[in-house]
Structure 1
Amino acid sequence: MASKSSSKGSREPGTLAKTYLFLYNFLQVIGWSYLLLLLIKHYTSPKKESLWETVKLTVIIFQNAAVLEILHAAFRLVSSNVIITTFQVFSRVMVVCGVLLATPTGAASPGLGLALLAWSVTEIIRYMFYALNIVGFVPYLLVWLRYTTFIALYPIGVTGELLCLYAAQSYVAANQMWSVGMPNFLNFTFSYHYFMLIIMGLYVPLFPQMYLHMFAQRRKVLGGDGASSKKKQ
């Protein structure tokens, strides 16, 4: 998850920390907005290069920058849970670095466009929400978008990620990529192919849980009074 404003009972970050968090979230809004623009231009203008070549640098910079959010949580700059934040950040980093950067088949998957569309729109809304929450002004429309757009975007994003993983796993299996076989002096074996299959399998139990949790959060936030809903996540 991205940086959150402190909840009731949490230590309030100082002015310097708030300034840093605002700039971090604002820059992420700019980065993901630029990525969405690249995505739109790719599909609406004559294509001179692949989608991945068009967006690669932007995705690498702004998605991997989310690793900072683990430090935000660890140093209590935000109220996020460190373990949950780590899981959520590295699930995306896994797709970017372990699939899209690592394999030509993953980057060529039709799922890439779906994933990028869902990621970019979600992150623009999310980071804008966090940035404005820091300065104490979050329009209700933004709150509504944050807790409503996931209904369509989350399944789209998950579908895109799974398509990229599926396209990459055959390449990984054929090339035994990042795998360690026996025998070796550590008496250790690791199959990146099986690891990817396990990751894909985890989507089955985790997706419904996360999706239903989001609906519960939506009822909690949008079901309350307008003033409090602007402050909650």
Structure 2
Amino acid sequence: MAPSKKAAAPKPASSPIKTAYLILYNVISAFFWGVVLEKTVFRLLNGGGPVALFYDVFEQTKWTQTAAAMEILHSLFGVVRAPLFTTVMQVASRFLLVWGVLFIYPDLAKETPTYSSMLIAWSVTEVIRYSYFALSLSGFTPRILTWLRYNTFFVLYPIGILSECSIIYLAAVGPAAHETEYPWTQLPYILYGILVIYVPGAYILYTHMMAQRRKVMRSLKTKNEKATQ
């Protein structure tokens, strides 16, 4: 007789304190990314160009994105079930842009339109993502928000990735190429290497989201079918 399979252990109940903390974290994050989105759209519609946009939103974008380092800790210590590797990849690429490129070479943001497209892609993605998580943890997830969370990345991810890559490339061939003191003279090669890493990195993130989408949309479809029976 084949040995019986061990019954799967039930998932431990989520701590109310942990749930409350995560709801608060996601609400605050959605709010601040919403402010970035509102300021970006307002500036684009009312003129002023990339220079005015940079001065309007860079500081807030920088610190709002820096706060996302908490997500690495959340994954590392099991506060959420997000995979650590993909979380680190997502946060690290953003850190590279705000601290490793634009903080050092702010004129890039003032001279290229892809800074605007990057901000739009980032802020729309994060407003949807954080709102989705906050409402899910609260026990209420509108279907339209679920659809947005697992479908808008088809458009927003390529916009964001291409915008990020363009800024890194412009840094490599522009100001970084004119550095004269070691080790700064090595910076262009580092930036080129990062661009190469973007290719498999983008593939991993994209396929991860597609896998998540299939799982969630399948579940949503099943619920819809049961509701109509």
Tell me, in whole angstroms, the C-alpha distance in 1 between the residues paired with 2:114 and 2:193: 19
Q: Say which of 40, 59, 62 aligns to 2:61.
A: 59
Q: Which runs of 5+ in 1 are unaligned?
A: 1-7, 182-189
Does the Cα contact within 8 Å between 2:29 and 2:130 map onto a contact in 1? yes
Tell me, in whole angstroms, the C-alpha distance in 1 between the residues paired with 2:88 and 2:12: 21
Identify which range, 137-146 or 47-56, moves more after superposition.
47-56
Identify which range, 127-136 or 167-176, moves more after superposition.
167-176
Larger radius of gyration: 2
1:167 is the counterpart of 2:166 = no
1:78 is the counterpart of 2:73 = no
1:42 is matched with 43
Identify which range, 165-174 or 113-122, moves more after superposition.
165-174
1:69 is matched with 71
Tell me, in whole angstroms, the C-alpha distance in 2 between the residues paired with 1:107 and 1:99: 10
Tell me, in whole angstroms, the C-alpha distance in 2 between the residues paired with 1:228 and 1:96: 41
Q: Which runs of 5+ in 2 are unaligned?
A: 1-8, 225-229
Deviation at 1:191, TM superposition (A): 2.0
- SS of the counterpart of 1:191? helix
Tell me, in whole angstroms, the C-alpha distance in 2 between the residues paired with 1:12 and 1:44: 47
Deviation at 1:9, TM superposition (A): 6.1
Tell me, in whole angstroms, the C-alpha distance in 1 between the residues paired with 2:94 and 2:21: 23
Does the Cα contact within 8 Å between 2:76 and 2:84 map onto a contact in 1? yes
TM-score by length of 1: 0.83
Does the Cα contact within 8 Å between 2:37 and 2:123 map onto a contact in 1? yes
Identify which range, 99-108 or 59-68, moves more after superposition.
99-108
Identify which range, 196-205 or 20-29, moves more after superposition.
196-205
1:90 is matched with 92
What amino acid maps onto 1:91 in structure 2?
S
1:210 is matched with 205
Moved over 3 A (4+): 8-13, 225-229
Deviation at 1:74, TM superposition (A): 1.9
- SS of the counterpart of 1:78? coil
Does the Cα contact within 8 Å between 2:89 and 2:201 map onto a contact in 1? no
Distance 1:16 1:80, change over 3 A: same
What amino acid maps onto 1:173 in structure 2?
A
Tell me, in whole angstroms, the C-alpha distance in 1 between the residues paired with 2:48 and 2:169: 25
% identical aligned pairs: 35
CA RMSD of aligned residues (A): 2.3
Deviation at 1:76, TM superposition (A): 1.5
Tell me, in whole angstroms, the C-alpha distance in 2 between the residues paired with 1:225 and 1:171: 49
- SS of the counterpart of 1:57? helix
Tell me, in whole angstroms, the C-alpha distance in 2 between the residues paired with 1:146 and 1:69: 18
1:166-185 paired onto structure 2 within 5 Å = 166-169=169-172, 170-176=174-180, 179-180=182-183
TM-score by length of 2: 0.84
- Cα deviations across residues 151-201 of structure 1 (Å, max 9, x unaligned)? 111111111101111121221121257x528xxxxxxxx822211111111
2:135 is matched with 132
Tell me, in whole angstroms, the C-alpha distance in 2 between the residues paired with 1:44 and 1:123: 21
Tell me, in whole angstroms, the C-alpha distance in 2 between the residues paired with 1:11 and 1:168: 48
Tell me, in whole angstroms, the C-alpha distance in 2 between the residues paired with 1:174 and 1:12: 56
1:224 is the counterpart of 2:219 = yes
- SS of the counterpart of 1:224? helix
Deviation at 1:228, TM superposition (A): 6.4
